[in-house]
């Protein structure tokens, strides 16, 4: 069965749902990993779109 495509929402470059597949195991708090991943990923998103809109 083909893998379901993860649709990127505004604010996202690499969705957490895609990133987490790279980890064999999460031994600690997944929410911390998710939150920080999404915060920094969002900065990259803002940069890409800033180049388009205002630079």
Partner 1 sequence: MEKLYNERLERYVTAMQNKKPDKVPIRPFVAEFVAKYAGYTCQEVTHNADKAFAAVRKCAKDFDWDAVVGNMVYVWTGMTEAASLKYYRVPGIDLSPDEAFQYVEPANEAEAHMRADEYDQLIDDPTGFLANVWLPRVSRDLSKDEEACNYRSNLAWLKGGIAMMKYFQGFGVQADLLKKESGTVGAIAGALKAPCDILADKLRGYRQLSADMFRRPEKVVAACEALRPHMMYNAIASADPTKTVPISVWLHRGCAPFMSYQAYEKFYWPTLKQIILDLWSIGYQVLFYAEGNWDQNLKYTAELPDRCIIYHVDRGDIFEVHKQVGHKFCLSGGIPNDLLTYGSPDDVRSLCKKIIDAVAKDGGYIMDAGAIIQQDAKTENVKAMTEFTREYGVY
> Closest separation between CB of residue 33 and partner 1, Å?
21
Which residues lie below 8 Å from residue 11, measured CB to CB, with a gap of 6+? 42, 45
CB nearer to partner 1: give 20 or 46: 46
> Closest separation between CB of residue 48 and partner 1, Å?
5
Q: How many residues does the chain have?
A: 55
Q: Which residue bears the tokens 């205002």?
A: 54
Interface residues toward partner 1, by CB under 8 A: 8-13, 43-55
Distance between CA atoms of 12 and 16, rounded to whole angstroms? 9
CB nearer to partner 1: give 10 or 28: 10
């Amino acid at each position: 069965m083909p893998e379901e495509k993860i649709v990127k929402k505004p604010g996202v470059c690499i969705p957490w749902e895609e990133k987490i597949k790279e980890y064999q195991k999460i031994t600690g708090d997944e929410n911390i990993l998710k939150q920080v991943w999404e915060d920094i990923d969002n900065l990259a998103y803002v940069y890409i779109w800033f180049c388009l809109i205002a630079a």
